[in-house]
Structure 1
Amino acid sequence: MAGKVTNFSDLIQRVAASCLLHPLAAGRHGSGENRVGDDDDEYELSEEHEDEEEEEEERESEEEEKESLKAWEGMNEEVRVERVVEMERLMNEVFDTVSGMKRAYASLQEAHCPWDPEKMRVADVAVVGELRKLGVLRERFRRTTSLTGGSTRRKSRGRGRGSGVATVREVVAPYEAAVEELKREVKLREVEVENLKEKLRTVAVSSLSLTGTNGKKGSSRSHYSKRKVVSAPQGQVMAGPAPEVFETTMKQVKDASKSFTMLLLSLMRSAHWDIAAAVRSIEAAANATDDLTSTTATIAACSVVATQHAKYALESYICRKVFQGFDHETFYMDGSLSSLLNPDQYRRDCFTQYRDMKAMDPSELLGIMPTCHFGKFCSKKYLAVVHPKMEESLFGDLEQRRQVLAGNHPRSQFYGEFLMLTKAVWLLHLLAFSLDPAPSQFEASRGAEFHPQYMESVVKFPGGRVPAGQIVGFPVSPGFKLGNGSVIRARVYLVART
């Protein structure tokens, strides 16, 4: 035993074999006395078998040592000196490599606390590199000893081949581990790609559903959380601006104006306003800068509105404010003349903005870009529609107005409903400047004869036919004549001529 050469691999193999052959005591006792006896017999047999193997290995080792000694004695002096020098050089390299591995392993431990993934990766590569060097040095040592005849018997028994295979496996093992790590990373990337593809499919389906759905009339009392989206007619491909898209968008404007008007009217009733008097006051205050004839005519018209039809007067006021400046490319917010200087490019830009914005939530958009052109348009129209006295009466303060004046956009239900209206008008405006030729806007004047080809009554009459002798009491929303000859009728409130 004293002269036997062993290594960690042999020790580990022996321990593993011993553990497999000798179960734990608890497992043996649980099977009864007979089982204990059988295990004891197996243990004795295994010990005898191991003793025989050890004796045989000792004999082989002694014979190998004798053969090596004979081979060493048979060498001349010069060869001996060369072998000794080569072995000394090899051992120096082994010690240097072991020292380098210890340093690399120490760096690997330091990288764990504090946790430093990059430093850990570098140290891990260094440790693997040093281990690889040790493997190479071991192969050099085996080749050196084989030249002295020390492994003749081992080779004759086929053990040399197994040793070579084990060495190859040890050298290849780090590369296999790296390949497995790369495979895991590839799988993670594939999962990430699949997730992104699924998101893309979801967005594509949502876009198609928005493009291929008819614009439907929404409830007049829509909530802030239920967003209506301007959509194109069914089957229409949004490759470019078309009069049909303009007509659909105008329906969305009508729905949005009705919804906001009903919300404002309900707030006024909750504040116990005199609705008829309130409508006249709003008109008078809002039109303080208008000419006297227009203001007087509006108030006179409001005086003949039935109480249940006050919503039409209020909607007329709102539409007039939000459509003011519609004929200019920026609603007269600045003096831009892009539509005149480069009309083709400006039309393309307007339609691109329309496509980008039509499916967006206006609140989210303004939360990101509160001072964009659309944000400035919303602020300007809010200040024009909602008088300070009105806001203070409805909400008890002027907080929303202060936020708007500061360049922000409130997150309230009232302002959110207003944004749906302004978004619809803004999209209609973009489409108007995208079409060639552009739609021409018209509005019925007070006292004008009713023309069913160009006008639509907001009040439904029995039988669906407007009786004779009806004239325009006041316009509610404007109409448009499109380039293809179709007409979007202006909405009007009719009164009897007498």
Structure 2
Amino acid sequence: MDPTTTSPSMLARTFTKILRFGRASTISGHEGMESSKDDRPHKLKFSKSLEGYSSVLSEPHYGKGKEEQQQQQKLSNDKETMESLLSNLFARISAIKAAYAQLQFAQSPYDPDSIQSADQAVVTELRNLSELKHIYINNQYDIHPLIDSKSPLDAQVQEQRNLLKTYKITTRKLDSDLNFKESTILSLQAELLELDNQNKSLKAKLQPGRCSMSSLDDLHLSGLNSNHFLTVLQCAVKSIRSFVKLMVQEMEAARWDLDAAAAAIHPAVVLWKPEHRIFAFESYICQKIFSDFHHCDYSLSSLKDRTNWNQQQFFDEFVKLKSLKTKQVLDGKVAAASGLWNFCRAKYLRLVHQTMEVAFFGGLNHRSLVISGRGFPDSEFFLVFAEMARRVWLLHCMFFSFGMEMEASIFQVRRGCRLSEVYMENVVVGGAGVQPAVGFTVVPGFKLGKKVIQSKVYPLGGS
């Protein structure tokens, strides 16, 4: 039998079989001898003394017991050695697992010192494991000369410690992966929000008839930029055009001469097309509604306390009024607390002339109610005006939310200046003449730090 394939348990079973076979042979031999003798009954005679039989009775049994004891002792020693070998083997394997787990953990984030230390630990444990393999192959069960060899109990304790270390490293790795995934989720959520805002902005450009400030719902002062201001400005300009359109309809219904009205606004500028009269009326409304825009209090005595406001207060008011409906603007309890109520009153009295109101409504009932301070007229004309005033007021609040360090300013272009693509946008598409001069400003421009939002101008050259 190959000694390399013999185990202590196999030796014990073989030895037991041999003993049983020997006993059976001895018994059968004695029985044969007894049967060959005379079958006559006889008496067994005992000696007066057992001294002569002492050696016969004791020596065979004494020799067999000693041999069994030696065999049992050998088997016990082999069993203990094998248990020690296996215990140390499992301890080495668990140490390799712990070192490898540490090696993986050190790679993300990359830690060269930890990687080198874990790699050295893996190499050392593999070397010890190789030595255990050679001991088993060569039937040399004495593992005590090995470095760090332990008793079976100590090896089992070490194995459990290595397993615990592996679990701790795995837990740290999972926690690190969890934190990374959470940060990735937050980053993707912010990216999704930004993309959603961009989609809303593109949608507003694709649908110029509609204006929505829903993209500013989650806006914070720290994230305020010129694009947000541009969104509010576009909504304000759309509301101005809606009011101008309604005003022109009222003028036509009152049989006003629209050409004469447009010429009265800008007498030095000739409109080359009848449909260009709308630019003159739009210019008139912008001049009135944006007058004193660059003052914190809009140059209104009732808003003097706003001169001491900081940018956070202006931004808070913008957030509070952004989602209000036109009906709420006319509610004194809501609008008066923000100054919007006084702004509506002052701008209506300056923008809507008495002659215009009498022509439109046959009297001064609207004006009288506004002056009294008891409320506002419940008419379509005033509701459209109030929505325009609300959006311009929101633009004013955002303008001062940028703070003094932004150096925000509003500007318009004088008549006769040459067109500049940086500061101006020509409202006449395909105008004739090369680089015509400016006739009048339709919508003022704004400058927020280095960002320029072009003013809209009507050229002298026309089309």
What is the TM-score with the length of structure 1 in the denominator? 0.48
Equivalent-residue separation in structure 2 for 1:219 and 1:213 (angstroms): 10
**Residue of 341, 363, 367 corresponding to 1:375:** 341
Aligned to 2:89: none
| Conservation of the 8 A alpha-carbon contact between 1:212 and 1:233 | no
Residue 377 and residue 212 in structure 1: after superposition, are their counterparts in 2 closer, same or farther (change >3 A)?
A: farther
Query: Which is worse superposed, 250-259 or 368-377?
Result: 368-377
Measured after TM superposition, the shift of residue 243 of structure 1 is 1.8
Aligned to 1:411: 378
Aligned to 1:492: 457
Residue identity matched to 1:416: L
What is the CA deviation profile of residues 447-471 of structure 1, one whole-angstrom value per residue up to 9, with x for unaligned ones? 1100011101112117xxx751411
Residue 248 of structure 2 corresponds to residue 265 of structure 1:
yes
Measured after TM superposition, the shift of residue 253 of structure 1 is 1.4
Equivalent-residue separation in structure 2 for 1:458 and 1:410 (angstroms): 34
Equivalent-residue separation in structure 1 for 2:250 and 2:462 (angstroms): 33
**Residue of 435, 442, 445 corresponding to 2:414:** 445
Residue identity matched to 2:422: Q
Measured after TM superposition, the shift of residue 340 of structure 1 is 6.4
Residue identity matched to 1:256: S
Aligned to 2:204: 216
Residue 445 of structure 2 corresponds to residue 479 of structure 1:
yes
Aligned to 1:300: 268
| Conservation of the 8 A alpha-carbon contact between 2:297 and 2:307 | no
Measured after TM superposition, the shift of residue 438 of structure 1 is 4.0
CA RMSD of aligned residues (A): 3.2
Measured after TM superposition, the shift of residue 308 of structure 1 is 1.5
Equivalent-residue separation in structure 1 for 2:421 and 2:271 (angstroms): 22
Map 1:266-285 → 2, pairs under 5 A? 266-281=249-264, 283=265
Identity fraction in percent: 30
Measured after TM superposition, the shift of residue 235 of structure 1 is 8.5
Equivalent-residue separation in structure 2 for 1:337 and 1:383 (angstroms): 19
Residue identity matched to 1:299: P
**Residue of 397, 415, 432 corresponding to 2:363:** 397
Secondary structure in structure 2 of the residue aligned to 1:480: strand
Aligned to 2:429: 460
What stretches of structure 2 of length at least 5 have no aligned partner? 1-195
Equivalent-residue separation in structure 2 for 1:238 and 1:430 (angstroms): 12
Residue identity matched to 1:308: E
Residue 449 and residue 275 in structure 1: after superposition, are their counterparts in 2 closer, same or farther (change >3 A)?
A: same
Aligned to 1:331: 298
Residue 356 and residue 497 in structure 1: after superposition, are their counterparts in 2 closer, same or farther (change >3 A)?
A: closer
Residue 308 and residue 381 in structure 1: after superposition, are their counterparts in 2 closer, same or farther (change >3 A)?
A: same
Secondary structure in structure 2 of the residue aligned to 1:252: helix
**Residue of 403, 418, 431 corresponding to 2:398:** 431
| Conservation of the 8 A alpha-carbon contact between 1:230 and 1:424 | no
Measured after TM superposition, the shift of residue 233 of structure 1 is 5.9
Residue 282 of structure 2 corresponds to residue 356 of structure 1:
no
Measured after TM superposition, the shift of residue 318 of structure 1 is 0.4
| Conservation of the 8 A alpha-carbon contact between 2:221 and 2:315 | no
| Conservation of the 8 A alpha-carbon contact between 1:338 and 1:346 | no
| Conservation of the 8 A alpha-carbon contact between 2:297 and 2:304 | no
Aligned to 1:198: none
Equivalent-residue separation in structure 1 for 2:344 and 2:199 (angstroms): 28
| Conservation of the 8 A alpha-carbon contact between 2:302 and 2:342 | no
Residue 497 and residue 404 in structure 1: after superposition, are their counterparts in 2 closer, same or farther (change >3 A)?
A: closer
| Conservation of the 8 A alpha-carbon contact between 1:240 and 1:351 | no
Secondary structure in structure 2 of the residue aligned to 1:470: coil
What is the CA deviation profile of residues 471-493 of structure 1, one whole-angstrom value per residue up to 9, with x for unaligned ones? 1111111101112x221100101
Residue identity matched to 1:269: E
Equivalent-residue separation in structure 1 for 2:365 and 2:305 (angstroms): 36
Measured after TM superposition, the shift of residue 385 of structure 1 is 1.0
**Residue of 340, 350, 354 corresponding to 1:388:** 354
Aligned to 1:63: none
Secondary structure in structure 2 of the residue aligned to 1:383: helix
Aligned to 1:184: none
Residue identity matched to 1:401: R
What is the CA deviation profile of residues 330-385 of structure 1, one whole-angstrom value per residue up to 9, with x for unaligned ones? 110028676765xxx61100000000110101322322436441111111111111
What is the CA deviation profile of residues 397-423 of structure 1, one whole-angstrom value per residue up to 9, with x for unaligned ones? 222111111122112111111112111
Equivalent-residue separation in structure 2 for 1:221 and 1:417 (angstroms): 15
Equivalent-residue separation in structure 1 for 2:453 and 2:246 (angstroms): 26
Residue 337 and residue 402 in structure 1: after superposition, are their counterparts in 2 closer, same or farther (change >3 A)?
A: closer
Residue 244 and residue 219 in structure 1: after superposition, are their counterparts in 2 closer, same or farther (change >3 A)?
A: closer
Equivalent-residue separation in structure 2 for 1:354 and 1:235 (angstroms): 12
Aligned to 1:147: none
| Conservation of the 8 A alpha-carbon contact between 1:221 and 1:259 | no
Residue identity matched to 2:443: S
Equivalent-residue separation in structure 2 for 1:421 and 1:481 (angstroms): 22
Secondary structure in structure 2 of the residue aligned to 1:433: helix
Equivalent-residue separation in structure 2 for 1:449 and 1:336 (angstroms): 38
Equivalent-residue separation in structure 1 for 2:426 and 2:345 (angstroms): 31
Measured after TM superposition, the shift of residue 256 of structure 1 is 1.1
Measured after TM superposition, the shift of residue 232 of structure 1 is 3.2
Measured after TM superposition, the shift of residue 247 of structure 1 is 1.0
Map 1:29-68 → 2, pairs under 5 A? none
What is the TM-score with the length of structure 2 in the denominator? 0.51
**Residue of 222, 229, 233 corresponding to 1:250:** 233
Measured after TM superposition, the shift of residue 305 of structure 1 is 5.2
What stretches of structure 1 of length at least 5 have no aligned partner? 1-208, 223-227, 284-297
